[in-house]
Amino acid sequence: MKFARSVALKAINGSSSTSIFNSGWAHLRRAQSQRIRAYSALMSPPSKAVVYDREGSPEAVTKVIEIPAVEVKENDVCVKMLAAPINPSDINRIQGVYPVRPQVPAVGGYEGVGEVYSVGSAVTGVAPGDWVIPSPPSFGTWQTYIVKDQSVWHKINKDTPVEYAATITVNPLSAFRMLEDFTTLNSGDSIVQNGSTSIVGQCIIQIARFRGIHSINIIRDRAGSDEAKEKLKKIGADEVFTESQLEVKNVKSLLANVPEPALGFNCVGGNSASLVLKFMRQGGTMVTYGGMSKKPITVSTSSFIFKDLSLKGFWLQKWMGSDKATECRTMIDYLLCLAREGKLKYEMELVPFDDFQVGLSKALGLQGSHPKQVIKF
């Protein structure tokens, strides 16, 4: 399967000649036809996919192509994709700046949801019509049909809104794990975070609220910041400040009855990370999981010596790679249950697969600020 797709991608992306392009595809189609006749193998439908044959600017290197049918072996599941998001990490992989990325030529995308189309003869546990997600996530979700081993797929409740099923793993699971993994939080404790309007930030607010944990939230100064504050408070934020509001000597005087936070989350870096540290209580921990400003974290000497603060990092892909598949799926089911019950909400925008480039442009911020873009196949 990988070989056939690699040949197909190279035939399209590596040729400057139309005749070579056409003959390459003709050869592939003949080969596929011969395989079907010779072995009567179960085949997937042909697939459309967003591919890139080199790393670089996503709007320049991605294209939508057709990929020939592939064999569905006895342990394989063929999935018709329903939806998949365009995450910042997807963009970073295409740009070639993410620590782990597929070998090019590659199909984009890392998480999503699909419906089982067909299964191999030895497959148990899922059947045509079931909804499944790749768990842990895997490369290549931006395509109409995917064939992978049954171990990759996790069956989920079909009553889940498709956009939440497609996006549940990377962002909500990160929020859940970060609230669990770094310190013991009890009802009445508090956390502080920047990047609060992000999906991870919104999930942290809501999951913390379920546990009786207060949240202090920092957002950028920008047009619409008052509206953003109200949206965050509606989903459970206790306090929301713009960065300029925190240009005071004693930020903790702004907390009123909210206790000093034991745990902080940073996905911005630069001055915004310093503001998170200012709120932290003695012996607190700040967890960094992103760096949107592309600026380093600067920590005062007193924060280390007199406040004994700890700085740690979190990377979901590393956590999921440590043999936690079963545990991961249990948590995903819990988060999906919250989404079905309307207890976990975040804003998304569904974009038809045929308009992928429009969705990509919005995800890149080339058309201003937009919600999370989710491809609907």
DSSP conformation class of 367:
T
DSSP conformation class of 258:
S
CA distances, 230 to each of 224, 236, 239, 357 (Å)? 10, 10, 10, 32
**Cis status of the peptide bond prior to 105, with omega within 30 of 0:** yes
Alpha helices, DSSP H only, in the chain? 2-13, 18-39, 58-61, 88-95, 162-167, 171-181, 199-210, 225-234, 270-279, 301-305, 316-320, 325-340, 356-363
* Residues belonging to the active site: 98
Burial of 248 (0-12, 13-18, 19+ CB in 10 A): exposed
Report how many helices (DSSP H) and strands (DSSP E) the chain contains, helices first. Answer: 13, 16
CA separation for the pair 173, 204 (Å, rounded): 10
For the beta carbon of residue 39, count every other beta carbon within 10 angstroms: 10
Q: What is the DSSP string of 196-211?
A: TTSHHHHHHHHHHHHT
Query: In the numeric block, which tokens belong to residue 310?
Result: 């700890």
Beta strands 285-288; 310-313: pairing state: parallel
Q: What angle do CA 349, 350, 353 make, to 5 degrees?
A: 140
